[in-house]
A and B are shown apart, each in its own frame.
Chain A
């Protein structure tokens, strides 16, 4: 579309040092990255810090980045995925990833921001995702919360698209069972 550059064009400009182009990429993709981080960490503050860090790391890695076979979204979410793992490692002393997530979820009261639009939904979503094993949580977050395609999800998770479809199917099944159990 004229006047509306796609990711590829913006990326090329950003690789030549065009910070405005990188800013545009941030505007397009930071909300999805933020949602992914919040779904994994349960803490608004951590998700905000890490969103910034992910894009800084992306900027620093741009000179080494080749788009061929590795779309921008997969590249960004791969960095986000590693940032989440680093964050878990930092929290390990406090009892490991699940303990870190549980501790954060305890903080996720529907703050003023959420009372407007989401309230209980947000809490429920984070709590349910937090009860899944990490690869299930990751696949559901990437696919449905951050809206990545199975192919992009496969690249972030370093699996085949077929394996992602199977994982997605199983993760949805497990989540369904959790919900049914809670209803009873």
Chain B
């Protein structure tokens, strides 16, 4: 006589049959009537986890932009892109992280000790340039120093405009290698702006609506600009322009909801 199969094996058997489309939950359990009662909660949970996959999907446009960037890095024979210095040293200086006194102290130190020229220079930096991480670092410091959700939102919207402007500048300079990365950053920034608006809406719905309108206006203007670029620039630039259009469209649709 065969030994009684363990519950682990029966569970796997049910999962395999369901995965192959041979059974659904009920018919899989019906194959093991003595164990069905104990198998059901686990099997239901496993199927629920599988059904939750779409909830963990990446943002629209991320995979395409990231693939393009990866292939460019590989073709250029680059080593893995290191985590930016400021982010490695100051992991808490990220959008959405809880504000704390250490952040404030470091942000102040950063602002005070950096040469003015360096800061001014970094404001003009584009993705891929040496001063670009500094530019992003300064933005994080500005966010850390902002003490209200309204201030955060204003900054996030402003940074989103900067990201869009960077893409335009890269396209105008025909620096297409960094453009997919810049588009990815625009997507992140639009997300951050929308999240910040959500947070503000919980405190001051009227102000959130006004700022939302201003955000929508700037996204619509950017979309117009990208449309013009799409009509006037060579096909080489089209994939990144289309991605940028996708991101702005996405932001607009979310705002209109």
Contacts and interface: CB of A to CB of B under 8 A. Distances in A.
A58 B15 CA distance: 30
Interface of A is mostly: helix
Interface in B67-81: 67, 69-71, 73-75, 80-81
Nearest to B191: A111
Contacts, number: 151
A156 interface: no
B201 to A, nearest CB: 12
Nearest to A163: B8
Given A35-B53, A90-B91, A111-B195, A150 B12 contact: yes
A45 B71 contact: no
B156 to A, nearest CB: 12
Given A19-B75, A31-B57, A150-B12, A121 B52 contact: yes
Contacts of A135: none
Contacts of A67: none
B89 to A, nearest CB: 11
Contacts of B236: none
Contacts of A47: 58
Interface of B is mostly: helix
Given A56-B73, A121-B52, A31 B63 contact: yes
B113 interface: no
A59 B191 CA distance: 30
A131 interface: no
Could you say which of A49, A112, A168 has the most chain B C-beta atoms within 10 Å of its C-beta? A112
A100 to B, nearest CB: 9
B35 to A, nearest CB: 12
Interface in A109-127: 109, 111-118, 121-122, 125
A165 interface: yes
A173 B58 contact: no
A130 to B, nearest CB: 13
B143 to A, nearest CB: 13
B49 interface: yes
Contacts of A166: 8
A176 B45 contact: yes
Contacts of B42: 169, 172-173, 176
27 contacts: A23-B70, A26-B70, A30-B66, A35-B56, A44-B59, A44-B188, A45-B94, A45-B95, A48-B58, A48-B62, A52-B70, A59-B70, A60-B80, A91-B91, A107-B97, A109-B195, A112-B194, A112-B195, A112-B251, A113-B60, A113-B191, A117-B55, A144-B46, A165-B8, A168-B11, A172-B11, A179-B45
Interface of B: 7-9, 11-12, 41-42, 45-46, 49-50, 52-60, 62-63, 66-67, 69-71, 73-75, 80-81, 83, 88, 91-92, 94-98, 184, 188, 190-191, 194-195, 198-199, 250-251, 254, 257
